[in-house]
Amino acid sequence: MLKKETKLMLKSALAEDIAGGDITSRLVIKGSPRIKAVVLAKENGVFCGVDILKEAFPATKKDVTLTLFKQDGDPLIRGEGVAQLFGSAKKILAYERVVLNFISMLSGVSTLTNQFVKKIQNTKVEIKDTRKTTPLFRNLQKYAVRVGGASNHRMRLDDAVLIKDNHLRVGGYLVDGQIDKEKFKPIIKLLRQKTSLPLEVEVETFSEFQAVAEFYPDIIMLDNFSLANLKKVVSFRNKYYPRIKLEASGGVNLTTILKIAKSGVDYISVGAITHSAKAIDFSLEIL
């Protein structure tokens, strides 16, 4: 993970939760007892969150000692220990919820991502995420996507040029619902002159695909295409524009992804792996 960002996110989350201090532990727990505790997975999945644990309980501090039983990408088995903590009871209890929240969210993303990846493991198709991430958590969630076995699409708007349907409408490149090639040609030329970033164009119909393909973008995104139309586009691409990569997107789920992959596209973007991932449940048990 990005160490600096992990540190900042964890610091902010702890400040949000602890605020003026853990009043319950301060009043209920006498002295400075030391305890042993284990972080347990309460369901199966794919673990992600090593850097969160290391940042919360760094090896340079002696108040709590961290022993890791799992690394990012390792399978989770219900009831199995992920890490063990030994040290200050008050610190462990104060940090417990925030740390578990982070690893629950990240492991949820890596677990769902891995389920999609396994569905198409015998194909050559690459699963990509989207920008449908929790605000301010993008880099962490996209790291979890990589842990789950998929790859990242754009991290930010300045990573690539992606011309979507709204760009076409606002820019005036759609006439009577169709791409005006004479108007579109100069903008493609301008983009090629101004940037060397990857160029991708989103289309919604086969006729739009045909129009855009003439300008050889690096990738054409096929938004909400039926399976029949995906196969039609792939056949057309293979015959006339073999250099262009094809990305299927829109409404992809675990039931449909294998059929989409078998259509012959190169990439499938799945927003669900970040915006709809169910958190994996963990608990902290005192030994």
Q: Which residues are catalytic?
A: 97, 132, 164, 202, 223
Q: Is the dihedral of CA 23, 7, 62, 97 positive or negative?
A: positive
User: How many C-beta atoms lie closer than 10 Å to residue 51's C-beta?
Assistant: 21
Contact, 125 vs 261, CB < 8 A? yes
Strands 267-269 and 245-249 turn out to be parallel
Contact, 152 vs 139, CB < 8 A? no
Give the bridge partners for 34, in sequence order: 88
- Which token pair is 229? 């139309």
Q: How far apart are CA 150 and CA 49, in angstroms?
A: 17
Q: How far apart are CA 153 and CA 126, in angstroms?
A: 11
Q: How far is CA 158 from CA 151, 153, 198, 258, 281, in A?
A: 18, 12, 11, 31, 35
Q: How far apart are CA 218 and CA 188, in angstroms?
A: 11
Q: How far apart are CA 201 and CA 193, in angstroms?
A: 17
Q: Using the 8-state DSSP alphabet, how is residue 215 labeled? A: T
Contact, 104 vs 281, CB < 8 A? yes
Q: How far apart are CA 152 and CA 269, in angstroms?
A: 9
Q: Is the dihedral of CA 185, 187, 188, 190 positive or negative?
A: positive
